[in-house]
Structure 1
């Protein structure tokens, strides 16, 4: 493999037409430049430099290699600049998946913090529920997944690292007097996403009944519209009520029912700089 330092020397000699000028540009001594040229000739097995009087000129082989060396050096310098910009967060991209009520509340605030601190960093957002978000994370389609877990949620897969962001209490949502869970044992219920529905079943089981889930939707606007119309009752997290609150519903916090919101990453630390910056932004807008 050809030595990149010697290729730089050859390119400089080609550009300036003399060893003296190349030495001045590269901050080398003239003997050092001549030494690198001789080594490059030995590496290639080709005569690259021809002496003419007190000067030199490149042979046909030397001109060919100098042209290619200039192209290679240009690409390496560009790659180095791009990498430095990426590491320094002056450029690059970071991808985030988050569930709907997070996207409707604190995620936009985190995006604004990230944009202010790192204006060259591009943020890509995807709305999806935790199971799909975690699959995307493990497959490498996103860098961070904002998810939620209940105390009765099964453990996440190996390699998933969780950064706690906030706790989000659940609320019983009705169109009339709220009461408690047992006062709605005979009501029709509106279930949400898989994790929310599983938690609803667990809550009602602890209260001594099995709910009749007549409707299923993870659209918080639709859930509240159905409740407001008197079609059924539901359990919604505080973030969902903060993102959207129908004027004709009543809500009360349920004791002992809280979901925990995390920023999930995958793989061994440390995280890439862009991921670390996004985690810092998420933490900054969710810390008490």
Structure 2
């Protein structure tokens, strides 16, 4: 197994250009740096350094090892930093916004988990549009949002987004519908439903509704939106009564709904990405990319990060998702 000190030594030589200068930058002795590098080479079975009188450079094997090792060192540093921050954090209160279906499925588990860490949650339940506005103006410490392929969440540049779930969309049909016995449907079959009456959300810019409307528009059809509601039970009732059909995210779906059949859509466009959005922590390094990322390239920068409390919130959300999907293992 690779010792992180071997990766530290390799990175220092790459930055400094020689073992002597690497030892000085690490405040190690030169024999210590050599010891870790020799052990790394024995572990790999190939040289990681090309040594000369002018200094040392990484071999192609060394470049590969460091490229992978940067992520290991970054995650290790972050784990240590987060643990220290958490130990010093004390009781912290977060104003956390979430859309209603996520709140119903996940919020109790999330609150229970972060409470054990000393984080108190003030929950705000709204639809995605208002949540985006509130996290942008920082009246929320964090918000759970969602988007679909091709439709990015319009957050400000200083807001960090962390993906917590890929949530497939399902077609909700009444029992007895001609497609209700399908194991799944493809895009072409979905577009054949252009004569059906559809149920959309109350807001005009819900990403799930937009992706349906655009798919039909590209095929030359206009969606017949018969009912608009954000009430989940009303939606199920209208579908069960045969009045409308609609899309439902898997997170919102239970095992069964009387009179309603949920059919998966075999198309990668019909999935929503659930994101935790929060302002970048004060003093965090700048960089593009989601908060969960880590610099993988040699010399790459670490992406911007939200606060320690928000990162713990992201962990709790993922755990709550896993428990919701596999309750037997919760």
TM-score by length of 1: 0.63
| CA distance in 1: counterparts of 2:219 and 2:315, whole angstroms | 39
Larger Cα Rg: Structure 1 or Structure 2?
A: 1
| CA distance in 2: counterparts of 1:178 and 1:238, whole angstroms | 22
- The counterpart of 1:246, out of the listed 239, 243, 257, is 257
CA shift digits 1:11-40 (9 cap, x unpaired) = xxxxxxxxxxxxxxxxxxxxxxxxxxxxxx
CA shift digits 1:32-57 (9 cap, x unpaired) = xxxxxxxxxxxxxxxxxxxxxxxxxx
Q: Indicate whether 1:147 and 2:156 are aligned.
A: no
Q: Which residue of 2 aligns with 1:102?
A: 102
CA shift digits 1:161-181 (9 cap, x unpaired) = 111111111111111325242
- After superposition, residues 211-250 of structure 1 pair within 5 angstroms as 211-242=223-254, 245-250=256-261
CA shift digits 1:65-95 (9 cap, x unpaired) = xxxxxxxxxxxxxxxxxxxx99734323111
Q: Which residue of 1 aligns with 2:172?
A: 173
- Greater mean alpha carbon deviation, residues 99-108 or residues 244-253: 244-253
Q: Which residue of 1 aligns with 2:65?
A: none
Asked if the contact 2:162/2:277 (under 8 Å) is kept, the reply is yes
- After superposition, residues 69-108 of structure 1 pair within 5 angstroms as 88-108=88-108
Asked if the contact 2:110/2:317 (under 8 Å) is kept, the reply is yes
Q: Which residue of 2 aligns with 1:188?
A: 197
CA shift digits 1:184-206 (9 cap, x unpaired) = 22111100143222122123335
Q: Which residue of 2 aligns with 1:283?
A: 318
Q: Which runs of 5+ in 2 are unaligned?
A: 1-84, 180-188, 285-304, 326-330
Q: 1:200 to 1:182 in 2, by over 3 A?
A: closer
Asked if the contact 1:96/1:124 (under 8 Å) is kept, the reply is yes
Q: 1:203 to 1:112 in 2, by over 3 A?
A: farther
CA shift digits 1:94-120 (9 cap, x unpaired) = 1110111111212322221112232xx
CA shift digits 1:184-238 (9 cap, x unpaired) = 2211110014322212212333555221001111111111111111111111111
Q: Which residue of 2 aligns with 1:72?
A: none
Size of the alignment, in residue pairs? 201
TM-score by length of 2: 0.55
User: Aligned-pair RMSD on alpha carbons?
Assistant: 2.5
| CA distance in 2: counterparts of 1:250 and 1:117, whole angstroms | 40
Q: Which runs of 5+ in 1 are unaligned?
A: 1-84
Q: 1:165 to 1:86 in 2, by over 3 A?
A: closer
- 3-state SS of paired residue (1:282): helix
Q: 1:271 to 1:248 in 2, by over 3 A?
A: same
